[in-house]
């Protein structure tokens, strides 16, 4: 059961009381990510997230920040995606006031010391290099470029070496002022705490935080005729591939149908891709699929690592599995997929961190929180015919995108394979 209060400064606070737990998890969701950035500032959201750990007016060093939470056995972390920046902590109930103080201190009072900025700039550049050096990470970046070409959604969240080298302290502070304000943030708590107690504590911790009338704007994505194949040749043992189609947004009610279709296709060791491509054909060790739902777009992506000589055979086998999704799904298989989704969702609800993330993530992105029972009801109601219709709509040849990293040859013949 979720409770929500909008504080006087515009900050939205969502709590879930879990009296059987010993922990409290606190998340701050900032409605800003890489899609809100200009090309010149590519990576600035992620850069700020890093720098908030590097010292505040109250805790001068990163060591003091981490020691405050780790010293009581807690966890402190953060992350940046295309549409969100998240700061979170998990501590024993008795240490929640400390955790709240540390997290709000990081967000409100970070120093952005020039020396730390230059030091962390190099850390982020190394992070970019690491992603490029990893074929499995690199191919996921390339498929984003194919899905959203010439658009912020298609860029690496960390930016590029060139953009990172050009971001100044003044640009960081200006971006922070434009984006980090209470009505663009959701605080989500879950654990052994009552809603009013949380309201009182968070209100006191953020009392000096003033609201703004403006709201961050992003460049909408318009589907277009995109290139279908992107290859980065490398001398690797495996060919790493991502095969994708555009998916559905967070506001499309059929996103639950697509998620169920994805479970049948490639989530887990009992999925069609795993049993057919790995177990029966022996063409891949690692193969899976996943969906991503954004504010105005989405994707369904298949990843596999295969022996280069088996690449055409593997692609044909994957495409065959996509084609089979256009046929009616047997009721027994459909029932098993539904139980997988429902079971994993219910298991997530036992952890305070997952519960807080579940509620806060929905609120910041969609402005509403669907409860577990509502989601289960939606999943149970999906029919085999709905799955077939959506597969026929999305899984068509003109929508296919293929990214490859590895010792790839015969590029023309690979593009010819992209048919459904």
Q: Are strands 239-246 and 401-406 parallel, antiparallel or unpaired?
A: antiparallel
Q: How would you class 132 by CB atoms within 10 Å of its CB: exposed for 0-12, middle for 13-18, buried for 19 or more?
A: middle
Identify whether the C-beta of residue 419 lies closer than 8 Å to the C-beta of residue 396: no
What letters, b where the CB count within 10 A reaches 16 and e where it falls short, cover 239-263? bbbbbbbbbbebeeebbbbbbbbbb
Cα dihedral across residues 106, 112, 115, 118: positive or negative = positive
- How far is the CA of 365 from the CAs of 83, 358, 386, in angstroms? 8, 11, 26
Where helices occur in 182-278 by DSSP H, the ranges are 195-205, 255-266, 272-273
Query: Looking at residue 53, what DSSP letter applies?
Result: T
Residue from 4, 37, 39, 49 carrying the catalytic annotation: 49
Edge-to-edge order in the sheet of strand 75-80: 2-6, 12-17, 185-191, 23-30, 85-92, 75-80
Angle, to 10 degrees, between the axis of helix 384-394 and the axis of helix 255-266?
A: 90
d(CA 378, CA 326): 21
Confirm whether 333 is a catalytic residue.
Answer: no
Task: Look at residue 190 and give its three-state secondary structure.
Answer: strand
d(CA 364, CA 375): 18
d(CA 400, CA 415): 10
> What backbone torsions phi and psi does residue 2 show, to the nearest 5 degrees?
-100, 145
d(CA 46, CA 212): 22
d(CA 330, CA 324): 12
Q: Where are the beta strands (DSSP E) in 18-70?
A: 23-30
Active site residues: 49
């Amino acid at each position: 059961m979720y409770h929500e209060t909008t504080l006087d400064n515009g900050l939205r606070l969502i709590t879930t009381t879990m009296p059987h737990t010993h922990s409290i998890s606190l998340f701050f969701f900032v409605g800003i990510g890489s899609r809100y950035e200009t090309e010149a500032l590519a990576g600035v959201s992620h850069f700020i997230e890093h720098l908030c750990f590097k010292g505040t007016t109250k805790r001068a060093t990163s060591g003091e920040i981490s020691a405050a939470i780790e010293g009581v056995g807690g966890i402190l972390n953060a992350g940046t995606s295309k549409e969100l920046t998240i700061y979170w902590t998990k501590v024993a109930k008795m240490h929640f006031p400390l955790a709240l103080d540390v997290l709000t201190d990081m967000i409100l009072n970070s120093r952005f010391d020039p020396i730390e900025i230059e030091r962390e700039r190099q850390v982020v550049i190394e992070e970019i290099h690491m992603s490029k050096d990893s074929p499995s990470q690199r191919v996921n970046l390339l498929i984003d470029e194919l899905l959203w070409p010439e658009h912020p959604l298609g860029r690496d969240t960390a930016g590029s070496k060139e953009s990172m080298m050009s971001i100044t302290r003044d640009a960081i502070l200006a971006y922070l002022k434009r984006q980090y304000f209470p009505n663009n943030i959701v605080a989500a708590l879950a654990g052994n705490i009552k809603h009013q107690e949380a309201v009182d504590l968070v209100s006191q911790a953020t009392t000096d935080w003033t609201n703004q009338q403006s709201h961050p704007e992003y460049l909408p994505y318009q589907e277009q005729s995109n290139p279908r194949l992107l290859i980065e040749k490398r001398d690797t043992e495996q060919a790493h591939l991502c095969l994708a189609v555009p998916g559905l947004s967070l506001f499309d009610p059929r996103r639950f149908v697509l998620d169920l279709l994805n479970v049948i296709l490639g989530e887990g060791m009992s999925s069609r891709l795993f049993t057919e491509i790995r177990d029966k054909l022996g063409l891949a060790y690692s193969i899976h699929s996943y969906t991503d739902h954004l504010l105005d777009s989405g994707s369904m992506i298949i990843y596999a690592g295969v022996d280069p000589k088996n690449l055409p055979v593997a692609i044909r086998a994957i495409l065959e599995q996509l084609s089979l999704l256009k046929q009616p799904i047997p009721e027994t298989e459909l029932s098993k997929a539904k139980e997988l989704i429902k079971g994993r969702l219910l298991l997530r609800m036992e952890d305070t961190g997952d519960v807080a993330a579940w509620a806060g993530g929905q609120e910041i992105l969609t402005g509403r929180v669907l409860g577990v029972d509502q989601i289960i009801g939606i999943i149970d109601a999906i029919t085999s015919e709905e799955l077939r219709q959506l597969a026929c709509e999305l899984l068509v040849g003109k929508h296919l995108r293929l990214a490859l990293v590895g010792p790839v040859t015969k590029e023309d013949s690979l593009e010819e394979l992209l048919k459904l």
